[in-house]
């Protein structure tokens, strides 16, 4: 059955007359940070528009993310350069990107896109989130659309759900919304800073995902009996996280984030076929975190659709965390480098 509302309908509704504008500049360039969800987006109510079942909440990772540079390309095909290397148009990466650009290009126009990312692609570090967010922001500059951040967030969501949160730095809540056209499903910045907050990126395995998060969430929604409990888990965790952010209550923030991630993975374990992103090294790292916590170190983790962990702690614990996890890459989301 054809979806009622298509991506192109959303683009036309937001751009209006601007859809027919020719580029005002020779190049549009924008950076978007990657984001780590403290309360996860897991499950869609609309596959076409990437509309989520629940709201979610993330923290953007400062200067870790992607920079997109887009120009008009006077050739028959788009040219895509990823981290300095040209990418063939028949890879799944290019196909996804070209399908996204098709939503915005005036007839016959081709683009030259340079995407530079300073995070490992496909290592569960939300590379598609910052990729699509940087691309829509670069298109906005190229065409001089001057869209509002919430409109950019809606358009970024059409590429990848979590990209709707990468339009901002700091804490961001993505409101699930209730409308069928998704015009109320966008990110919103939570205007609280937390300079001492650290996110440690613990790359445990760089292999490609066993299953894409898109397929994994669909399988979970369709087959997991535990998924019925997910919306109420999210409601509880979102409330706690927002209060913890306001109060700078690190313990509450860490507990809610870790518990939310584990609850999401529990829904996957109870799906059929079962989905398990953790590897032995993931479980070992979790056990180290739990042992340190038992010993009094305020340290928590979150895990996305991959085997790697993101550790949450305050700056005062940095040395201790580095000692236990020498390979960790520590980011302070609220401190500019
Ligand atoms: C999140 N993830 O909130 C959750 C937690 C993975 C685990 O958003 O299908 O790449 O493109 O909307 O955004 C990854 O999902 O999925 C994700 P699509 P997306 O960060």
| Shortest-distance Cα residue to atom 15 of ligand 1 | 213
- Per-residue pLDDT of 32-51, as tens digits, reads 999 999 999 999 999 999 99
Name the residue of 304, 307, 309, 310 whose CB sits within 8 Å of the most ligand 1 atoms, as the mutation to test its pocket. Answer: 304
Q: Is the pLDDT of residue 308 over 90?
A: yes
What's the alpha-carbon Rg for the chain, to the nearest Å? 20
Q: pLDDT confidence of 65, banded at 50, 70, 90?
A: very high
Q: pLDDT confidence of 120, banded at 50, 70, 90?
A: low
Name the residue of 213, 215, 238, 268 whose CB sits within 8 Å of the most ligand 1 atoms, as the mutation to test its pocket. Answer: 213
- Per-residue pLDDT of 225-273, as tens digits, reads 999 999 999 999 999 999 999 999 999 999 999 999 999 999 999 999 9
- Tokens for 165? 């949160």
- State whether the beta carbon of 188 lies less than 6 angstroms from ligand 1: no
Say which residue, 128 or 264, is predicted with more confidence.
264
Alpha-carbon distance of 212 to 313, in angstroms, equals 28
Residue 187 three-state SS: strand
**What is the H or E stretch that residue 167 is in?**
none
Q: Using CB atoms within 10 A of its CB, is residue 337 exposed (0-12), middle (13-18) or buried (19+)?
A: exposed
- State whether the beta carbon of 127 lies less than 6 angstroms from ligand 1: no
| Shortest-distance Cα residue to atom 12 of ligand 1 | 161
Provide the pLDDT for residue 4. 81
On whether the CB atoms of residues 129 and 66 are closer than 8 A, the answer is: no
The closest alpha carbon to 41, from 32, 51, 49, belongs to: 51
CB 177: neighbour CB atoms within 10 A?
17
pLDDT over 70 percentage in the chain:
97
Phi/psi of residue 130, each to 5°?
-75, -25
- Tokens for 195? 């300079």
On whether the CB atoms of residues 182 and 34 are closer than 8 A, the answer is: no
Phi/psi of residue 37, each to 5°?
-80, 130
Sign of the C-alpha dihedral computed for residues 56, 59, 60 and 61 taken in this order: negative
Q: What's the CA-to-centroid distance between 213 and ligand 1, angstroms?
A: 6
Q: Is the pLDDT of residue 184 over 90?
A: yes
- State whether the beta carbon of 173 lies less than 6 angstroms from ligand 1: no
Beta bridge partners of 39: 57
Residue 261 three-state SS: helix
What counts of helices (H) and strands (E) characterise the chain? 9, 13
Q: Is the pLDDT of residue 290 over 90?
A: yes
- State whether the beta carbon of 35 lies less than 6 angstroms from ligand 1: no
- Tokens for 130? 């910052």
Say which residue, 78 or 127, is predicted with more confidence.
78
- State whether the beta carbon of 164 lies less than 6 angstroms from ligand 1: no
| Shortest-distance Cα residue to atom 8 of ligand 1 | 162
Strands 79-82 and 85-86: antiparallel
**What is the H or E stretch that residue 66 is in?**
strand 56-72
- State whether the beta carbon of 50 lies less than 6 angstroms from ligand 1: yes
C-alpha distance from residue 258 to each of 63, 108, 177 (Å): 24, 48, 25
User: Per the confidence metrics, is the pTM higher than 0.85?
Assistant: yes
Q: Which long-range contacts (CB under 8 A, 24 or more apart) does 242-245 make?
A: 242/57, 242/173, 242/190, 245/171, 245/190, 245/192, 245/194
Provide the pLDDT for residue 3. 63
On whether the CB atoms of residues 125 and 60 are closer than 8 A, the answer is: no
Provide the pLDDT for residue 207. 79
Among 3-17, 79-93, 123-137, 176-190, which range has the highest average pLDDT? 176-190
Residue 151 three-state SS: helix
The closest alpha carbon to 257, from 322, 335, 186, 194, belongs to: 194
Average pLDDT rounded to a whole number, residues 105-118: 93
Q: pLDDT confidence of 23, banded at 50, 70, 90?
A: confident
Q: Is the pLDDT of residue 122 over 50?
A: no
273 preceded by a cis bond (ω within 30 of 0): yes
Buried b (16+ CB within 10 A) or exposed e, 102-123: ebbeeeeebbbbbbebebebeb
């Amino acid at each position: 059955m054809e979806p009622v509302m298509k991506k192109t309908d959303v683009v036309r509704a937001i751009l209006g007359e601007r859809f027919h504008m020719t580029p005002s500049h020779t190049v549009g360039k924008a950076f978007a940070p990657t984001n780590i969800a403290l309360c996860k987006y897991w499950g869609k109510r609309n596959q076409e528009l990437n509309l989520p079942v629940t709201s979610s909440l993330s923290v953007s990772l400062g200067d870790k993310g992607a920079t997109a540079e887009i120009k008009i390309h006077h050739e028959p095909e788009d040219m895509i350069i990823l981290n300095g290397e040209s990418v063939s148009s028949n890879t799944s990466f290019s196909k996804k990107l070209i399908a996204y650009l098709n939503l915005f290009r005036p007839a016959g126009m081709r683009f030259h896109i340079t995407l530079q990312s300073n995070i490992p692609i496909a290592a569960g570090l939300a590379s598609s989130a910052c990729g699509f967010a940087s691309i829509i922001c670069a298109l906005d500059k190229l065409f001089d659309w001057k869209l509002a951040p919430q409109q950019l967030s809606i358009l970024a969501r059409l590429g990848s759900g979590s990209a709707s949160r990468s339009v901002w730095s700091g804490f961001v809540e993505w409101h699930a919304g209730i409308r069928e056209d998704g015009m109320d499903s966008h990110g919103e910045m939570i205007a609280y800073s937390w300079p001492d907050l650290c996110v440690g990126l613990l790359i445990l395995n760089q292999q490609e995902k066993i299953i894409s998060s898109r397929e994994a969430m669909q399988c979970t929604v369709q087959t997991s009996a535990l998924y019925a409990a997910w919306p109420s888990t999210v409601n509880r965790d979102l409330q706690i996280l927002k209060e913890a952010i306001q109060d700078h209550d690190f313990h509450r923030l860490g507990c809610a984030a870790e518990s939310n991630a584990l609850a999401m993975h529990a829904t996957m374990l109870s799906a059929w076929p079962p989905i398990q992103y953790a590897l032995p090294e993931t479980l070992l790292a979790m056990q180290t975190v739990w042992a340190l916590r038992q010993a009094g170190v305020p340290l928590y983790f979150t895990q996305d659709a991959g085997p790697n962990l993101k550790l949450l702690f305050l700056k005062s614990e940095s040395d201790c965390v580095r000692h236990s996890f020498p390979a960790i890459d520590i980011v302070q989301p609220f401190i500019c480098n």
